Amino acid sequence: MENTDRVGVGIIGCGNISSAYLKAAPNFPILNIRAVADLNPDTAAKQAEAFGTQARSVEALLASDDIEVIINLTIPQAHVEVGIAALEADKHVYSEKPLAVTFADGQKLVAKGEETGLRVGCAPDTFLGGSHQTCRNLVDAGGMGRIVGGSACFMCPGHERWHPNPAFYYAKGGGPMLDMGPYYVTDLVNLLGPVARVSGMGSMLRKTREITSEPLKGQSMDVDVPTHVAGLLEFVSGAIVQITMSFDVAGHRHTPIEIYGTDASLLVPDPNHFGGKIERMAKGGEWEEIAFDMPYHDGNFRSLGVADMAHAIRSGRPHRASGALALHALEVMEAIGIAGETGQRIDITTRPERPAALKTDIADGAIA
């Protein structure tokens, strides 16, 4: 029987996304958020007060005996440095996406986890949401026939419309593919298994962009990455999926993810969220909404992957939002960029295990 003693958790990085984790963590009794830390002590103190926990320095948090898992919510460029520091401090680490800004750096982090015998986990965990697990069940049941292909699409005018400090989205390691691509690639791997090879193209139409959000409204920022990226993913299964990620588009009418089978097609909800409407059309039929009763579809559960990892630590089973899965997604996304630069198809070297389907409510620990 699983040991369900609570797992002590510390958060490093108290920026925008930290509130989502701190709000969601109480949904999972296995998690005990004991402290937060940030390079800016005032930022950490503010979040600690808002969510009823302690603020510690980064150094003190890493040295704390009451912390087993570090949630790494720093900017992407710091993910590997902080993650390795956590592993060297004998802590399991769960990172925000992407795992790293380069595949080579992501390999270092995963290798460090293997060397230390500690867990490496990584967002996104939205593929564990009720709607996405329902879609997974529909694919696994075989009613769609052979999966032929699909499409994945995120397009918007850019994050400078809303983010208070958006420059890192346009620096090396940013861009729409590394920022939003993890949601889509990870969910596709959840649905279809690993990717075998990719091709792609990208464009950067502006060298600078104007920030339109407060408090930096009117300031200019440099653009160092492609801001419109189109790729083609060939899965080990033989399915072929088109993917488009853009910060340059005023609007569009594509659905987030579509999966096409020989016997049916499936409209998958936005993988940036845990829930959403599912529609299926059988060959010769009409589009029908799919009713489902799976957990984690009716809110923002951005601690679900951490909770699954915590239960996995206690029971000894694999965790679902794994470093291996995130490294595969990172290799796929980086390879699309390389394909765009070279005009070649790029073979993908990693082959992670497809994450186990989520059969029940994770909070009770009774996970198949």
Please report, for the domain that includes residue 282, its CATH number.
Answer: 3.30.360.10
Q: What is the mean pLDDT of residues 339-359?
A: 95
Residues 272 and 310 in one domain: no
Tell me whether residue 265 is in a domain.
yes
**Whether residue 98 sits in one domain with residue 29:** yes
Identify the band that residue 359 occupies on the pLDDT scale cut at 50, 70 and 90: confident
Residue-wise pLDDT tens digits, 181-219: 999 999 999 999 999 999 999 999 999 999 999 999 999
The pLDDT assigned to 172 comes to: 85
- Picking from 252, 292, 301, 295, the residue whose alpha carbon sits closest to that of residue 273 is 301
Residues 247-303: tens digit of each pLDDT: 999 999 999 999 999 999 999 999 999 999 999 999 999 999 999 889 999 999 999
Q: In this structure, are 17 and 64 located in the same domain?
A: yes
The CA distance from 54 to 71, in Å, is: 15
- Residue 366's pLDDT is 41
What is residue 247's predicted lDDT score, i.e. its pLDDT? 97
Predicted confidence at residue 362, as pLDDT, reads: 59
At 354 the pLDDT is 95
- Band (pLDDT 50/70/90 cuts) for residue 368 is very low
**Is 250 found in the same domain as 182?**
yes
Residue for token pair 């509130």: 19
The predicted structure's pLDDT at residue 363: 52
Residue type, 246: S
Do 26 and 118 have their domain in common? Answer: yes
- Note whether residue 74 is domain-resident: yes
The mean pLDDT value for 227-251 works out to 98
Q: Are residues 121 and 140 in the same domain?
A: no
Partners of 281 in the β-ladder:
265, 287
Tens of pLDDT, residue by residue over 72-98, are: 999 999 999 999 999 999 999 999 999
Domain boundary among 289, 312, 336: 289
Residue 356 has pLDDT above 50, yes or no: yes
Do the domain assignments include residue 336? no
Flag whether 49 is in a domain. Answer: yes
99 and 144 within one domain: no
Q: Which domain holds residue 49?
A: 7-126+301-321+349-364
Q: How many domains does the chain have?
A: 2
Average model confidence (pLDDT) across the chain:
95
Q: Is the pLDDT confidence value at 4 over 60? A: yes
| Block residue for tokens 């198809």 | 345
Is 36 found in the same domain as 83?
yes
Burial class (CB in 10 A: 0-12, 13-18, 19+), 176: buried
Q: Is residue 337 domain-resident?
A: no
Q: 256 and 145: one domain?
A: yes
Report the pLDDT value the prediction gives residue 293, as an integer from 0 to 100.
85
pLDDT band, residue 367 (cuts 50/70/90) = very low
Neighbouring residues of 274: CB distance < 8 A, sequence distance ≥ 6:
126, 128, 129, 130, 131, 132, 296, 297, 298, 299, 300, 301, 304
Q: What percent of the chain is modeled with pLDDT above 70?
A: 97
Q: What is the arithmetic mean of pLDDT over 118-140?
A: 97
Residues 42 and 110 in one domain: yes
Assigned domain for 276 exists: yes
| 197 assigned to some structural domain | yes
Both tokens of 55, joined, read 């603020």
Distances (CA, A) of 261 to 146, 157, 244, 282: 5, 32, 20, 9
- The CATH number linked to 50 is 3.40.50.720
> Does 192 map to a domain?
yes
262, with CB counted inside 10 A (0-12, 13-18, 19+), is exposed
Q: Quick one: tokens of 359?
A: 């059969």
| pLDDT over 90, % of the chain | 93
Same domain, 191 and 134: yes
Beta strands in 51-180 (DSSP E): 54-55, 69-72, 92-95, 120-122, 147-155
Phi (first) and psi of residue 18, to 5 degrees: -65, -35
Averaged over 151-171, what is the pLDDT?
94
Identify the bridge partners of residue 229 per DSSP, sorted by sequence position: 202, 245
d(CA 347, CA 328): 12
Asked if pLDDT for residue 45 goes beyond 90, the answer is: yes
User: Same domain for 178 and 220?
Assistant: yes
Q: What is the DSSP string of 125-151?
A: -GGGSHHHHHHHHHHHTTTT-SEEEEE
